[in-house]
Amino acid sequence: MNQSTLTALKDRLPSKGELTRQAILRVAADLASVEGLDGLSIGGLAQAVGMSKGGLYGHFKSKLELQMATIEAARVIVKNLVFVPVGDVEPGLKRLWALSENYIAYNENKIFPGGCFFGNVASEMDGKPGPVRDKMREIYHGVNARFAQCAREAQEKGELDSEADPEQLAFEIVGLAREAGRIFLLDDDPNHFARARYAIAQRLRPLLTEKSPALPDVPAPKRRVRVAGTT
């Protein structure tokens, strides 16, 4: 093993600084999902990660840079958890369904303690122009585009009515999943995820063709018990 290969190997090894940087960002994403990206304070983050405020500034020149890095870190986490795995699923209706399921499960399992990182940050920043908002818009477009792409693949394979608008389908699926995640954070009722799954399945069902694989079974959501004589 000669000098250059050694150097090449070493270059790929994360330095200590890079390791703590990643550790900081993982904590920052968790914290920001609850407190928001503005609510995320340097002092609080430093304490949570077990170091001093000044130490953080060795890794990030400013709070804005920290915010942007945190978004990017969260994006990678969600990408690897939600979007990458569906690459293994056969393109078409199955992949579209897997993507929906993954996205719902991501909300259901509270990967970030404050729920969906991007839902919270987007809602916080959508009224404040700047690089953070721009990045969030980009990410949102990416998510919707991926859903639309999966729908289109299903159409091209003849597994979904070719008359349907893929973007419209993406809008509805993503919207229903997000609504479930959001309400879940307010009142802890997991039935809302059943509602989202059911709604999505019912939306797709009339679009199925003779080439379509069967949709997985989706249990009907629990109906609220209505006592006789109550309004």
Partner DNA sequence: TTTAAATACGAACGTTTGTTTTTTTCTGGA
Partner DNA sequence: TCCAGAAAAAAACAAACGTTCGTATTTAAA
Closer by beta carbon to DNA, 28 or else 177: 28
Place of tokens 């600084």: 17
Q: How far is the CB of 122 from DNA (least distance, A)?
A: 19
Q: Report 13-32 residues binding DNA (CB under 7 A).
A: 15-18, 20
Closer by beta carbon to DNA, 13 or else 225: 13
Q: Could you tell which of a second copy, DNA, none binds residue 212, using a CB distance below 5 to 8 A set by kind?
A: none
Closer by beta carbon to DNA, 31 or else 151: 31
Closer by beta carbon to DNA, 82 or else 132: 132
Would you give the distance in Å from CA 194 to the centre of its chain? 18
| 3-state class (DSSP) for residue 62 | coil
SS3 track for 125-137 = HCCCCCHHHHHHH
Amino acid identity of residue 114, one-letter, is G
Q: What does DSSP assign to residue 84?
A: S
Q: How far is the CB of 216 from a second copy (least distance, A)?
A: 19
Residue 51 touching DNA (CB under 7 A): yes
Q: Distance between CA 146 and CA 82 in Å, rounded? A: 11
Q: Could you tell which of a second copy, DNA, none binds residue 80, using a CB distance below 5 to 8 A set by kind?
A: none
Residue 58 touching DNA (CB under 7 A): yes
Q: How far is the CB of 9 from DNA (least distance, A)?
A: 10
Q: Distance between CA 191 and CA 22 in Å, rounded? A: 35
Residue 102 makes CB contacts below 8 A (sequence gap 6+) with 81, 82, 83, 85, 86
Q: How far is the CB of 12 from a second copy (least distance, A)?
A: 31
Amino acid identity of residue 100, one-letter, is S
Residue 176's nearest CA partner among 133, 221, 127, 217 is 221
Residue 61 touching DNA (CB under 7 A): yes
Q: Between vectors from CA 44 to CA 40 and to CA 46, what angle results, nearest 5°?
A: 110
Q: How far is the CB of 41 from DNA (least distance, A)?
A: 3
Binding site for a second copy (CB under 8 A): 33-36, 38-39, 113-115, 119-120, 122-124, 126-128, 133, 136-137, 140-141, 149, 165, 167-168, 171-172, 174-176, 178-180, 182-183, 185-187, 192, 195-196, 198-199, 203, 220-221, 223-224, 231
Are 131 and 64 spatial neighbours (Cβ–Cβ below 8 Å)?
yes
Are 84 and 54 spatial neighbours (Cβ–Cβ below 8 Å)?
no
Size of the site for DNA (CB under 7 A): 26
Q: Which residues bind DNA (CB under 7 A)?
A: 10, 15-18, 20, 40-44, 46, 50-59, 61-64
